[in-house]
Amino acid sequence: AQRVTQPEKLLSVFKGAPVELKCNYSYSGSPELFWYVQYSRQRLQLLLRHISRESIKGFTADLNKGETSFHLKKPFAQEEDSAMYYCALTGEWVRFGAGTRLTVKP
């Protein structure tokens, strides 16, 4: 079975604080993992993917196969990071997590 779990529906932090959005997955094969973001009144767009191992807008995510996790992290959150974040697993099909709404307070 292919499953993506984002345990937090809502996450609120203050500006400048570190933020971590959790994502756990289950998949028997080799997964491809992505983080998508949807800012207010904008379309869903790719934030980053694990194969490129890049940092986008200060966010990073490391695939931990032992813990089957792909948590999204940023050391210093900004107000403009407030958005809906979706973790996605592409194995046999693409599966999205339920999403986490991040609010960064001033």
Residue given tokens 């609010």 in the structure block: 103
Residue given tokens 């089957």 in the structure block: 68
Q: How far is the CB of 60 from other proteins (least distance, A)?
A: 18
Query: Using the rule CB under 8 A, which residue among 77, 86, 102, 104 binds other proteins?
Result: 86
**How many chain residues bind other proteins (CB under 8 A)?**
20
When the beta carbons of 77 and 88 are compared against other proteins, the nearer one is 88
Told to check if 49 binds other proteins by CB under 8 A, we report: yes
Nearest CA to 31 out of 100, 95, 99, 98 is that of 95
Told to check if 44 binds other proteins by CB under 8 A, we report: yes
Amino acid identity for residue 11 in this structure: L
Told to check if 90 binds other proteins by CB under 8 A, we report: yes
